[in-house]
Chain A
Amino acid sequence: MVAPPDNDVLWARALHYSPNGSPALQGVSLGVREGEILAVSGPRGSGKTSLLRCLSGRLVPTEGEVWFHSTALHTMDRLQREKLRRESFGWIGTQPALVAELTGWENAALPLLLRGTAHRAAKSAALDWLDRLDAGDCAHQRPHRLRQDQCQRIAVARALITLPPLLFADEPTAALHRADGNQVLRTLTAAARSHRITVLLATGDPDVAALADRAVHLVDGRRTGETPYPATTGAEGRDTCSLSV
């Protein structure tokens, strides 16, 4: 086993994953630096979701290694990975996946409540985050009354509320219209930058990938290249955003 480079938060080597024999990942290696926003881009079926799920410990790769700081995810058992997900990772999926019977703020506060935070503190943190994400008016509504983009904002708040060191966003704006999606994504990246949250952002859209610091490309489960985005264009308005969110 090779020890991972020191400055990488997350590090993966030669990941192979083939559920039921169909190869989803074929030898992907990747390093994510602390505080960066890394886009994983590629068309549908290129293995983005599988890669993010392997890196976040929701799937165990058939072959290869995943390191988070100095812990090896690929050797952990289910309970340990669950604990790591609860304490260190955030996840935003394509669908908001909110709990239907909880209101907006309860959904956003769920990770805090799961950690045993007091009701009052969890509520004020959730309301705070919903306000920052322009979803303050959704706080007391159930998800079935809300628009898709409002639900997705709540999902973003739920992922950010614990200020996880590492946030996985799997095509978070794929189901939204362009304007809504852009706004959700900008608030997400701005919040991540101001809180030094490392983000792995899977996307099929080059414009979305351009919001990141760097993009790696996947095709058919293989890594085909990398695009660095210079700070001026890619991380547009980095400092101004960090002040506002």
Chain B
Amino acid sequence: MLALRLARGAHPVVLARRLLVTAASAATGFLLLCALAYALVRPGGEAPAARLAWCLLPVAATVHLALAVARTDPGTRPRPGLSAIGLGPAKLALFAAATTALAALTGSLLALAVFLHLRGDLSGMPFDGAAAELTAAGRPLPLPAALTLLAVVPLAATATVALALRPRREPPATEKDPDAARPAPAEPPAGLPWGVTLVALGLAAETYAAGGAALPGGLGSGRGAVLAGWVIASVGLAVAGPGLTHLSGRLLQIGRPGAARLLAGRALMAEARRIGRPLGVAAAVAAVTLGGTVLFRQEAFRPFGDLTALGATLVVLCAVATLLTAAVESRQERAPTTGTLTDLGAPAALLRTTAALRAGVLLAVFLPLTWLVARLAALPLGS
């Protein structure tokens, strides 16, 4: 009940972010239901299972977004007053999970309503039964199956949020005061070598398999191996995200930096994980999308169904929304630093310059890299 009460009093921007989760959950739920409808129309075979498997991507993107939104939610951050009355990190994690569950469940119900409406089961409104073929209008909908599919996103999102935000067990002596003014900065991320390795491995496997040869060690051949290599290269890009962000911060401070470059570079290094992860995921999604457009131009190879556009748009929008939410979170985390700088009389132009420098160097590093990986990954696909 407290979650509902706090949700009611939240700022409109916070509510808008939660609505994003609801929308993403609704779209994903709709995609899952459409996969079910496809299976109803054409039972048996591998195609329905493959369709359901493709739905994993939107589910993952939605869960990723839900986690980012839960992290930025001011209602779920430790507050000195609430901590004093026993509403500490443990309770707040549960609270965050409850808020996420609420948003995602609303989305699932919305998806069910829209699906039934498009089937023509709920009548009396425009677009009534407009997508009868897509939604298997003629056949009865198996309710347990539909409810199970609709429960996937809320359950996955809630579990992820609860797990990710749960307080870590640490010896009492090293426990940090939630109100402490000097939080220790995170260790520099170590994912860069792994990411580079994965990208190289993926690209190599893809090129090798596209040449018609089977991968050594019986790792498969043909289209499957090409796709696997493509996925591995994209995952590598996502894994390398934090490390690349850290590196960008370091690059920004080369030489003898002035205030703007120093502050921007250090901020990037400190925020490497928070910004780098969603940035890596966004870069991976962008690379896959670029490669996918190449794949889509080929008539012979179209693993996609009618709802590809909805699924792809959903994943891209979720990645972008997650990145923007992470930027908001980073801004919230940096509020004390910004306050200190303002108190020192730092001009607003300097703060704007540091923000622009950060964004600029990230774009300068990630855009060419994403483009390169996408081109290299698309080369064997196009052949």
Contact = CB atoms under 8 A, between A and B. Distances in A.
Interface string B171-205: 00000000001111100000000000000000000
Contact of A100 (B182, B262, B350): B182
A113 B342 CA distance: 14
B344 to A, nearest CB: 6
A179 B350 CA distance: 38
A99 interface: yes
B257 A119 contact: yes
B267 interface: yes
Looking at B258, B262, B266, B345, which has the most chain A CB atoms within 10 Å of its CB? B345
Nearest to A78: B348
Contacts of A98: 182, 340
A99 B337 contact: yes
A87 B348 CA distance: 15
B23 interface: no
Given A100-B270, A101-B266, A102-B262, A95 B181 contact: yes
Given A100-B337, A101-B270, A143-B182, A118 B344 contact: no
A118 B256 contact: yes
B184 A85 contact: no
B81 interface: no
Contact of B344 (A84, A96, A110): A110
A99 B350 CA distance: 15
Could you say which interface size class chain B belongs to?
20 to 34
B50 to A, nearest CB: 47
Contact of B345 (A99, A114, A151): A114
Contacts, number: 81
A44 interface: no
Interface of B: 181-185, 256-259, 262-263, 266-267, 269-270, 336-337, 339-348, 350
A49 B264 CA distance: 31
Contacts of B336: 97, 100
B345 to A, nearest CB: 3
A142 B345 contact: no
Interface string A91-115: 1010111111110001000110110
A114 B343 contact: no
A116 interface: yes
A100 B347 contact: no
25 contacts: A82-B342, A84-B345, A86-B344, A86-B346, A86-B347, A93-B343, A99-B266, A99-B337, A100-B183, A100-B185, A100-B270, A100-B336, A100-B337, A101-B269, A102-B262, A106-B262, A110-B259, A110-B341, A111-B345, A113-B258, A113-B262, A114-B347, A119-B256, A120-B256, A144-B182
A58 interface: yes
Nearest to A117: B258
A84 B344 CA distance: 10
Interface residues of A, number: 33
Nearest to A144: B184
B258 A99 contact: no
Looking at B257, B336, B340, B346, which has the most chain A CB atoms within 10 Å of its CB? B340
Interface string A119-146: 1100000000000000000000011100
Contacts of B262: 102, 106, 113
B185 A142 contact: yes
A151 B346 CA distance: 20
A114 B346 CA distance: 6
A99 B367 CA distance: 30
Nearest to A90: B344
Contacts of A143: 182
Contacts of A114: 259, 344-347, 350
A151 to B, nearest CB: 7
Contact of A91 (B258, B339, B343, B348): B343
B256 A85 contact: no
Contacts of A177: none
A82 B185 contact: no
Given A91-B343, A100-B182, 9 more contacts: A79-B347, A100-B185, A101-B185, A106-B262, A110-B344, A113-B262, A118-B256, A144-B183, A144-B184
